[in-house]
Amino acid sequence: MRKRGFMIWGLACLVISIAGFWPTYFAPIIAGTYTDAVPLMPWHVLGMGLWVVLIASQPALVAIGRTDLHRSIGVFGAVVALGVVITGTIVQLDAMALHAGLDNTGDAVITPFFRLVTLLVFAVCVIAALVRWNRSDWHKRLMLLGTFSLLEAPLSRFYSNVLGLGDNSGLLAAVSHAVLMIIFLIWDRRTLGRFHPVTLWGTILITLIIFGTAPIAFSAWWADVAATLAATAN
């Protein structure tokens, strides 16, 4: 049950990613009208796509007993994760430079801060999962918690572009991220019969990081840092 459950959670991450990026990425590509002022965005989306496919498929390999293949593909997964972090960081720097020139404080200063924080959470979770590869109970939970942080971007796009809640899309995405972790925590508690320390403390710490660092995004200090980073990107 738990093995199938982790596969279902991975599929949920895949569905959320596709739904969030559909209006502004996948649909325009299919229509042949896609353009983006941020050059690395397609590569970042590709990296995220590969990652969530792996998150959905890797538990399936474990469920059918192909742990050997799971480990082999895991090496490729580590490279994909590195690509997601690198391209994601560059995309945010490019976006900061682009929107700074348009005097758009939200997209030049505030949104990039939260995206960089979620990339950091993802990187820390993946590194910890790789370090604990020999503890499957730790490994798979850390991978999912890290992936949840990446979903803030597609969730924000979904709220903005599908539901028309642009003004509050960032906050709604962050709250949805926290809700996802809480639902995962409850599911894990019910199926395992106890709170797993990774799920419990991971949910608590990540929630504190996401919401605890929020005031920094609106601070004068970060505005100065963002301006410097935008100038560097230019």
Tens-digit pLDDT profile for residues 157-166: 999 988 888 7
Please give the Cα distance from 114 to 208 (Å, whole number). Answer: 13
Q: What is the mean predicted confidence (pLDDT) over 159-174?
A: 89
Q: What is the mean predicted confidence (pLDDT) over 64-90?
A: 89
DSSP H or E run through 209: helix 197-212
pLDDT value at residue 2: 61
pLDDT value at residue 232: 79
The beta-strand segments (E) located in the chain are none
Of 58-62, 116-120, 179-183, 222-226, minimum mean pLDDT range? 58-62
Q: Encoding tokens for residue 82?
A: 């590195």
Please give the Cα distance from 83 to 123 (Å, whole number). Answer: 11
pLDDT value at residue 173: 94
Q: Where are the domains of the chain?
A: 2-233
Q: Encoding tokens for residue 113?
A: 């801060």
Is the pLDDT confidence value at 167 over 90? no
Is the pLDDT confidence value at 105 over 80? no
Q: What is the mean predicted confidence (pLDDT) over 126-132?
A: 93
* Residue bearing the bigger pLDDT, 55 or 3: 55
Angle between helices 136-150 and 111-131 (to 10 degrees): 170
Of 10-14, 25-29, 81-85, 211-215, minimum mean pLDDT range? 25-29
Please give the Cα distance from 152 to 172 (Å, whole number). Answer: 9
pLDDT value at residue 1: 53
Please give the Cα distance from 161 to 22 (Å, whole number). Answer: 9
| % of residues, the chain, pLDDT over 70 | 97
User: According to the per-residue pLDDT averaged within each range, which of 62-71, 105-114, 178-187 is highest?
Assistant: 178-187
Is the pLDDT confidence value at 192 over 60? yes
pLDDT value at residue 70: 82
Q: What's the residue count for the chain?
A: 234
pLDDT value at residue 199: 96
